[in-house]
Structures are given as structure tokens and as C-alpha cells.
Amino acid sequence: MSLEQIRALVAANSVMRFAGQRRQEVYEWVERTLVRHQYAGLRKPDKGVLRLYLAQMTGLKRAQVTRLITGYQQTGRVIAAPYLRARFPSIYTAADVELLSYVDRAHGNLSGPATRRILEREYSEYGQAAYQRLAGISVAHLYRLRATQAYRKRNTTYQPTRPTPIPIGERRKPQPQGKPGYLRVDTVHQGDRDGNKGLYHINAVDEVTQWEIVAATPHISELWLLPILEDMLQQFPFVIRASIPTTAASSSTTPWRDCSKSCSSNKPAHGLIIAATTA
């Protein structure tokens, strides 16, 4: 297509625009068109017409066409510019990371501000030239260096979770000191008869006052014991502090279950006595 035909096409298709399929094919076509019409030797009006023709036939914007033509004038080719990722220059070297890991191991992995102060003093007060770059490091960048793989290869510490003991329902030897509220609880099954289960007798005796409450239940389960134990506890004229099964009461080292500690919100206080009766 001659330049005159291109001028007529541009004037007739001022609204219509085309679009290329693949970028490589579009760039190759643009390069062939520029070479065929000898773009460098054209007059300025003719260059403008050819520029509009390239934009209409490829669907590229005017600025994109201008960049392609500029690249063609500089290199003689129309090729895609390689992607160049912007990278900031590295300030701290691998030796600095290794030195930081050495400092952290020596001082037990202190916090960022404390470690930064150590690095600063090593250079300013003790004249250690190896700490020159690390002396001006920020706390945020110090933590970034600690997160790198190179640092973790040199200094990685693992600290197991420390369990926190919660003294709920603490078991210990009782110390009544003459105060009531320490119960000995026992359950006795009276036996079966003719294939029928017998009753369970519950006996609760205060260790100091010998105040005794006796009850019976057909089953040892929470459904049956809760209402019975509630009635038994209400009949004691003092606060219940601890309970222990009498089956093990003969031993002076038998642990008592302390009721003075708080229990979980969905378990009543007499749940401790239930545990003692079923022990």
C-alpha cells in the first residue's frame, strides 16, 4: 500500500479502529511497515500520516506507537522492551547478617531496640569496624534481617510452651485446724436381690464436728446424685471446704479435694463431692 492510499484510508476510517491479536505479531507488522515506507526519510506530514495509520491498524495508543517508532529509530528493530524490576541497592551484606546472628546468640536474642543499642555501642564506644553498617540500622530493618532465611540458618531457637498450672479442685492433705467443713463421703451398695439392683447409700460425715447426713439413690450417676447432694449440702450448718472418700481415709496421706478453689462455671461446687463418691 502506497503512502497516498494510506492517507486516503486514514481520512476515510477516522472513527474505525482495529486491534492486533498478539503483541509479537503486531510489533513485527509495525517493523515491516516502517521499513517498507522508509520512515526515517519521510517528511514530517507523511510521518504523521503513517503514525495515525499504525495506530488505527494495531489498536495501540498514540504514546505506544511513538515509543515503538522511537525504538525503531534507535535500534532499527521494533521489539518488546524486557521487564526490568526496580531493585534497591543492598546496604547490609551477608557478613552483616552473620554478625547479627552472632550478637543475638551471645546475648540471648534480646528485643530489637536493645540489640540495636548493642550494635551502636560496639562501633561508637568500642571501635569495632565490623559493626559500622549495623550501627545505624533501624529496629524495623533489624527485624527484617532476622526474618531472612540466611539469618535463620545461623540462629534458630525453639522454646516449648510453658504450661500454666491452674489450681482448680486442688488435691492435698487436709488441715482442718478445728474448723468444720471437711467431709468424709462414702457410698455403699446394699446388694442385688432377685435380679434387681439395690440402693446406694451415701454417708457424709464432718471430720471435726462428726455431723452426719445419710441419703440413698438407686443409681450412681450425675442425674441422680445432683439433687441428692444438693439436699445433703444444704443440711450442713457450715461451709463445705473439702471432701474425701472414706474408703481411702485410713491412710494419713490420702489427698483431700479442696472445695475452696473456683471450679468451672458449668459445674456446681458439689461436683467435687460427686468425684469423691465415684473415686
Check which CATH number belongs to the domain holding 193 and give it: 3.30.420
Indicate whether 55 belongs to any domain: yes
Same domain as 175, residue 145: no
The parent domain of residue 176 ranges over 171-277
pLDDT at 26: 87
Same domain as 210, residue 137: no
Indicate whether 112 belongs to any domain: yes
Same domain as 114, residue 56: no
3-state SS of the chain: helix, strand, coil percent to 5? Answer: 45, 10, 45
As for how many domains the chain has, the answer is 3
Indicate whether 122 belongs to any domain: yes
Q: Can you give the C-alpha Rg of the chain in angstroms?
A: 45
Indicate whether 84 belongs to any domain: no
Per-residue model confidence as pLDDT tens digits over 149-208: 999 999 987 778 888 776 665 566 667 888 888 888 888 888 888 888 888 999 888 888
State mean pLDDT over 100-118.
94
* Domain limit, last residue, from 154, 183, 201: 154
Joined together, the cell numbers standing for residue 26 give: 503486531
Measured in degrees and rounded to the nearest 5, phi and psi for residue 34 equal: -65, -40
Task: Return the biggest CA–CA distance within the chain.
Answer: 123
User: Residue 238 in contact with residue 180, Cβ under 8 Å?
Assistant: yes
**Residue that wins the pLDDT comparison between 213 and 173:** 213
Distance of CA 133 to the CA centre of its chain: 32
Joined together, the cell numbers standing for residue 122 give: 560496639
The least confident of 59-68, 139-148, 213-222, 264-273 is 264-273
With a threshold of 0.75, does the pTM exceed it? no
Query: Cα dist. 72→63, 67, 127, 166, 191 in Å?
Result: 14, 9, 57, 78, 107
Indicate whether 10 belongs to any domain: yes
Indicate whether 159 belongs to any domain: no
- Any idea what DSSP says for residue 201? E
Joined together, the cell numbers standing for residue 79 give: 521489539
**Residue that wins the pLDDT comparison between 20 and 255:** 20
Same domain as 178, residue 216: yes
Measured in degrees and rounded to the nearest 5, phi and psi for residue 88 equal: -85, 145
* Domain limit, last residue, from 75, 110, 126: 75
Indicate whether 255 belongs to any domain: yes
Q: Which residues pair with 188 in a beta bridge?
A: 201
Same domain as 191, residue 150: no
Same domain as 268, residue 197: yes
For β-strands 256-258 and 200-206, DSSP reports them as unpaired
The least confident of 5-9, 104-108, 198-202, 251-255 is 251-255
User: What is the layout of strands, in order, in the sheet containing 242-245?
Assistant: 171-172, 256-258, 242-245, 182-189, 200-206, 212-217
Same domain as 100, residue 64: no
Same domain as 117, residue 29: no
Same domain as 53, residue 111: no
State mean pLDDT over 55-62.
85
Same domain as 261, residue 194: yes
Same domain as 270, residue 184: yes
Measure the CA–CA gap between 116 and 139, rounded to whole angstroms. 7
User: Confidence band (pLDDT; 50, 70, 90) for 99?
Assistant: very high
Measure the CA angle with vertex 276, ends 273 and 279; round to 5°.
155
Same domain as 108, residue 190: no
Indicate whether 25 belongs to any domain: yes
pLDDT at 222: 86
